């Protein structure tokens, strides 16, 4: 797939916003990991796709180093109010569905021996994650988040020419595929 085909695939998957991603803009920062450690989301140490289960920043960097290009994708939706938690979860679920769809398409391309998908939020495939007792049940579908790799998502969006915030009453979720 060339860049135009990749962008078309992102549009076909339903993402509102997308663009090519410059791998050099992926900066893995210990301070983002520290935010994970603060555990405001309650997933730290509870999920293979989150720290520390997803590996050290050095291990994450080594995975990223294998890739030369990427695509950044974003779902943006409207909320009834800034407390519309149900609405937020609905937009996240839609984003994850689109992300899986695009992932499956990329994986099916002979051209890509390997891809690295990084998405939004913890992996929620299983009701209860096997971490740390047993291996992940669905390694191919358990996507780590950009944050778990120490990446500031707002900065990544800015550096790749995509907005991060679309104004009051909106919510956006961002992911990327390194190819």
Site string for ligand SF4, 34-63 (x = CB under 6 A): -------------xxx--------------
* CA–CA separation, 90 and 81 (whole Å): 14
Q: Is residue 78 part of the contact set for ligand SF4 (CB under 6 A)?
A: no
* CA–CA separation, 39 and 65 (whole Å): 28
Residues 122, 42 contacting (CB under 8 angstroms): no
Q: Is residue 138 part of the contact set for ligand SF4 (CB under 6 A)?
A: yes
Closer CB to ligand SF4, 29 or 125, in the complex: 125
Q: Is residue 173 part of the contact set for ligand SF4 (CB under 6 A)?
A: no
Any idea which residue has 């899986």 for tokens? 100
* CA–CA separation, 155 and 8 (whole Å): 24
The interface region with ligand SF4, picked from 16-24, 74-82, 133-141, 149-157 by CB under 6 A, is 133-141
User: Is the dihedral angle over the CA atoms 142, 147, 153, 154 positive or is it negative?
Assistant: positive
Number of helices (H), then strands (E), belonging to the chain: the values are: 5, 5
Closer CB to ligand SF4, 54 or 179, in the complex: 54
Closer CB to ligand SF4, 145 or 160, in the complex: 145
Rounded least distance, CB 75 to ligand SF4, Å: 20
Sites of contact with ligand SF4 (CB under 6 A): 47-49, 123, 125-126, 129-131, 136-138, 142
């Amino acid at each position: 797939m060339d860049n135009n085909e990749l962008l078309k695939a992102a549009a076909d998957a339903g993402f509102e916003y997308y663009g090519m991603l410059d791998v050099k803009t992926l900066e893995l920062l210990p301070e983002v990991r520290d935010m994970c450690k603060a555990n405001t989301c309650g997933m730290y140490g509870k999920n293979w796709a989150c720290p520390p289960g997803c590996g050290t920043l050095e291990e994450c960097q080594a995975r990223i180093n294998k890739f030369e290009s990427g695509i950044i994708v974003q779902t943006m939706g409207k909320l009834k109010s800034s407390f519309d938690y149900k609405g937020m979860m609905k937009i996240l679920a839609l984003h994850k569905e689109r992300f899986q769809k695009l992932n499956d398409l990329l994986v099916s391309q002979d051209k890509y021996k390997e891809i690295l998908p990084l998405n939004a939020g913890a992996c929620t495939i299983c009701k209860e994650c096997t971490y740390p007792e047993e291996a992940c049940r669905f390694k191919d579908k358990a996507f780590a988040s950009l944050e778990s790799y120490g990446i500031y998502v707002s900065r990544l969006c800015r550096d790749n020419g995509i907005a991060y915030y679309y104004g009051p009453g909106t919510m956006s979720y961002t992911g990327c595929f390194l190819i």
